[in-house]
Amino acid sequence: MAAEPSGHTLQPTALVHEAYLRLVGGGDDAGFENRAHFFGSAARAMRRILVERARRAGREKRGGGRERVDADSGDLGLAAAPDGAVDLLALDDALSKLEAFDADLARIVSLRYFAGLSVDETAAALGVSPRTVKRDWSVARAWLFRAMTGEEGP
């Protein structure tokens, strides 16, 4: 969200609030099994919110394909548009494919990219070493880059 223009209507606080409401909104206080379960659920909720917003913005009555909701591509190292942003719908599609290929890699991307966790925080949430997170993060970024640029996937 840091790379979004200042006039952007969805502020980080609003995103976090909406994600919170989705996590506890049903009135059921089911709780979370552990830290990893909480952060995974939060990252999934934020991803869904951002993707739903991008889809709404892409509908014909809102300008069709002319308006894009983008996210900063700096951390992912993905091929970016001239304005330095990456298309959230393309990222969501690639991330869904990555999840089918390797759920652990997709979980790391969700925690790092959507939840904004550091390498150490991600490692603690998943119960693995920071080195494992760094290695898997590199593999996931390369996989997503190939998927989003149309190159042959692994």
pTM of the model: 0.55
Give the angle 107-130-113 at the CA atoms, nearest 5°: 40
Closest residue by Cα to residue 39 from 113, 94, 96 = 113
Q: Is the pLDDT of residue 133 over 60?
A: yes
Q: What mean pLDDT value characterizes the chain?
A: 75
Q: For residues 148 and 154, give the distance between their C-alpha atoms in angstroms, rounded to a whole number.
A: 13
Structure tokens at 114: 């959507």
Asked if 131 contacts 125 with a C-beta cutoff of 8 angstroms, the reply is no
* Sequence ranges of the domains in the chain: 12-149
More confident residue, 57 or 108: 108
The string of pLDDT tens digits covering residues 135-153 is 999 999 999 988 888 765 4
